[in-house]
Every structure is written in structure tokens, then in C-alpha cells.
Amino acid sequence: MEKRADLNSILPFLPLFLRSSTLFWPSQALEALKALALGPAVSRVRSGGVLFDAILDLRDSLGLSSWELAPCTASGYALFFDEMMSGMDSRVWFEEVVPGMARLLLRLPSLLEAHYLKSDEMFGEGKAGLRFMGPQEPGLVFLNQELIAALLSCAMFCLFPTSDRDVRCPPIINFDVLFASLNRNGKHCQEQKVRCLVHFFERICLRMPTGYVSFERKVLPRESSDHRVTYPTAANWSTSTVPLCSFEVFSSGLIEDQPHETIEVDFANEYLGGGALKWGCVQEEIRFMINPELIVGMLFMACMEDNEAIEIIGIERFSCYMGYPGDLPNSLSLVVSLLDRYGSSFRFVGDYLDNKPYDSIGRRKTRIAAIDALCSPRMWQYEVEGLVRETNKAFCGFLDQSVYKRRLKWYANSSNQEKSTGISENENRSEVEGNSDSESSQVMETQDNVGIATGNWGCGAFGGDPEIKSIIQWLAASQALRPFIHYYTFGEAALQRLEEVRQWILLHGWTVGDLWNMLVEYSDQRLNRKTHVGFFAWLLPCNKPSDVPHTSEQ
């Protein structure tokens, strides 16, 4: 085990020790966990205050006591488990759940060792094991749900080391800041977030899930590559003749509730998870609470750069909720008040039984693409460089590198347009030459049902133009050869004409390149103050349907 580069890269972020090829808990921590595992009759842990004292003892046994937890963490644990939780639920927590979590932590060393053996067996040595994944390092981490639950138990007990971290490192995933934010007069959403996490532990201690979850760091290389689709330029987008995919607009409903097999967009922070374990409570943070397994990705995924995205497949949903799930409406004058309003509206309302089917390697067919939009882009979002950055960010999240080139060749052959499909096909020709038409058809059949479910990504508090962002995501999904995009507007007033725009664009049979060129033309006029209206009003004819703006092809 000492020679494993993957393990050695993540070991500084774990509470375990490695000696003689064996992972282990220090003896004092081992004894403390054994006592917790035997229940309150032995551990004496029957209240939030005493639980926090036990956590401090565990931290001390791991040499973590010199790094203090957030102020008021102790009072937060006491407040939640002794006052906010009902007496019956509290008894179950201390008599059943805490011992169950302790037993899980006792197995953590063996779970990790088994994980590395299993990942080597399935994907090759060092290809999918738990490891630190830095910027520009594409790859996969493949974890079983039991190991994820054990790692999240470490977070509940605040056992992850917090020293020697720089800006490249992932955020700390201990729950101390979240509990420290609890107070009788504080934001109600913080209590609801804790309720979601506590419910997760109640569920996994009642019945441990047995599936798998993959976390993939996706990178669009900036340099030419014979083996990967590279970072498209403005010229690539302008000349693409890939047709626009189906686009459906939903004024109500939630991304996570849609019934189709899709990539569901996480309106992400550049640091995966954003403020999930702090004070945040908008789309990304809520998703991390109802699907707590997402939090584990925060342990090993470094900050995303402009040409990167993170895709997670297989997560299970555990909680139902009420409250606003989307990004905030795009009115700067309302941002501050709406942050409080929408955060306060979030409520945990009970258990959720996830009935999504599994794929061939044991992952639930739930796909999340974490893509971070530009923050406060102002007028730069209308610059060509800004448009390229945002479109490529979405394209990276929506793209499946493993099959894209075969699918692009299949499309090109079927439409006799291979030389003008636009993005990277010439660079990637060598890899697809050996694939027969029947193989390409099989790829198309197995991938064609996976579309995109998204909404007002990068708008609201991030300051993005919702009309531009909706079109950008349509372009990216189409170029990624996704069969459809389902767009949830969350009642955004600026998107009231989105359905009209969708129909008008499809009526004229535009390609990705055509729509891109219209977007660039509008943005240029916006930058030069030749227009002050939104893209939709600028695009749609004022008088009659035949007034079609000229594209580069006309």
C-alpha cells in the first residue's frame, strides 16, 4: 500500500495512518470508537453535548486538537440533538445511529483496502482509486456507497485533518461550520440542512446501500490531441453544422424530479459543493443535502478551471424537501433579500425512496454534471472570449469523451457532412477509423436516450444573463450530440419568451454554427451599445415571421 501513488496523494486528507502496508486507527482512537459502537450504556453518549466531547477526544487521539473547530460548534451539536430533535428521534440517534456510525468507522481501514483492490480489478491499477484529483488531471474515482457512508461519518465526527491546505486543495468537509451556524435566532435553512444529513445517517444505519458512485474530472485539452476532443475556439463554434437538438421548456418542476434519463446540471461553484457545508442554500447546496453522497467529492476534487467539469454518476437521493431549488432571479436589487427568502424557504420534509435503476457496473442511473459559471461577468459575458468560456464549460460537462468521436463519425456518415461538423473531428479521425458502422450504431443506440436537464445556470446572484445562458446551454448540448435538453425556468421572468424563441429558431432549421453566429452578432451590438434589448427581443421579428436575421450561411 505504501507504494500506491493514489493512496499517498489522499492520505494527508484522511484520519487514518499507514504502516507496513496496512491502514489503521491509532490505538486510542480505536478504543474510543469501540466504546461508541457499544452504545450509550458503555460510551455514556446520550446528548449532543456529550457527543461533542467524544468528538474532541477522538480528534485529540488523532493529533488534531491543535487545529480548532469553528467557534460555537459545541453549542450547535447540543442545540440540535438536545433541543431541535424530538426526544424519540434523539434516543434513536444515540442508541442506534451513533453506534452504527462508529462500527462503520471501525471498518474504514478495511473498506479502503478493499476499495483499492476492487478499483484495480475493474479499471486497472491506479486508474479509479480514491486519490487527490488536481486541476488538469482527467480521471475517475469509483467508490462503493458503504465507503462513502464511512467517509461522511468522519465528516460528522469532524475527523478530517485541516492543516497544510492551500488554494489548490479541496475544501474541508468536516461538519463543524454547519453545526456552528445553528442558533435559535439563525437561518432556519441551516437546521434543515442538518436534518437532511442526519436523516442520511439514520437511513444507512438502518440499511446500508450496496451500489457504486463514480466521480469523474473532465478536461477539454487546450493543446491538439489525437485521442481527446479539445477546447473549441470561436471559429470552431462558428463553422459547426451540427443540428440543434430538441429543446423543451418547463415553467414548473424540478431538475431532480424529471423522469427521463438525463445529465442533471449542478449550478456549481468552482469548488465543488460551494457553500453546502457553510451558509449556502441555493441550487447546488440543496442538491448536496438531498444527495449527501455528493459531499464526498469535495474531499478529493480540487477547484475547477475554465476547461474542466465534474460528472458524478450513481448517487442516491435520501430526502424530500420543499422550497426554492433554483438560482436566484436575475435582479440585483433583490439579491440580498431573496437570498434570505429562498434560503429560509428550504425545508426537509421526510424520507425519499430512490427507485432509479442501476447500470451494468452498479451505479444508479442518476448523472450530475457540475459546471461553474462566471461570477459577476457583467459586460464580459458578451465578449467573444466570455461566450467561448461559458459555452465550452457547458460543453465539457455535457460531453462524453469515450463515445463522442464515434458518435460524431456516425452523424457525419449519416448526413454526409463529415468535413463541416465543426469541432475537432479532423484531430480525432485516427481513433474512429477502426470502428465499423454497426459498432457506431450500437453506440448511438445506447447513448441517444441521455439528454440534459438544466435551468438558469449562472444567473441570479452570479449575475449572468438568463437569455444568453439558456442559448449557450442549447448550443453545448447540441454540439455534444445530446438528443434533447429539458430547460426548467423556475419562473424566471426574463425567460417568458423562451418557448417562443425555441419555436422560431427550430422553424428556421438553424445549426449550432448559425445560432452561435447570431449570438455573437447580438453580443457585439450589445457591447457597442447598438442595442439595449435582451437577446430574445433582438432575435424575434417585430412585424412578421419572415423577417429572419441573416446568418453566415444566408
Q: How many CA atoms lie within 13 A of 181 on its CB side?
A: 19
Q: Let me know if 261 is a catalytic residue.
A: no
C-alpha cell at 314: 450513481
Handedness of CA 335, 337, 339, 345 (dihedral sign): negative
Q: Distance between CA 436 and CA 409 in Å, rounded?
A: 10
The one catalytic residue among 266, 425, 465, 514: 266
Q: Let me know if 146 is a catalytic residue.
A: no
DSSP result, 11-26 = GGGSS-EEETTEEE--
Q: Let me know if 427 is a catalytic residue.
A: no
Residue 391 DSSP code: H
The one catalytic residue among 285, 372, 425, 514: 285
C-alpha cell at 149: 457512508
C-alpha 107: how far from chain center: 28
The answer to whether the beta carbons of residues 519 and 510 sit under 8 Å apart is no
The answer on whether 283 is annotated among ligand-binding residues is yes
Count H helices, E strands: the chain? 23, 12
What is the side-by-side order of every strand in the sheet holding 484-488? Answer: 139-144, 212-219, 308-313, 367-372, 262-268, 451-454, 484-488, 246-250
Report residue 437: phi and psi, to 5°: -60, -35
Report residue 349: phi and psi, to 5°: -120, 5
The answer on whether 517 is annotated among ligand-binding residues is no
The answer on whether 503 is annotated among ligand-binding residues is no
Look at residue 167 and give its three-state secondary structure. coil
The answer to whether the beta carbons of residues 349 and 322 sit under 8 Å apart is yes
Three-class SS of 122-153: HHCCCCCCCCCECCCCCEEEEEEHHHHHHHHH
The one catalytic residue among 264, 284, 308, 311: 284
Q: Which amino acid is at 355?
A: N
**Residue 484 belongs to what H/E stretch?**
strand 484-488
Binding residues for substrate: 269, 283, 324
> What residue numbers does the annotated binding site cover?
269, 283, 324
- Residues annotated as catalytic (active site), given as ranges: 266, 284-285
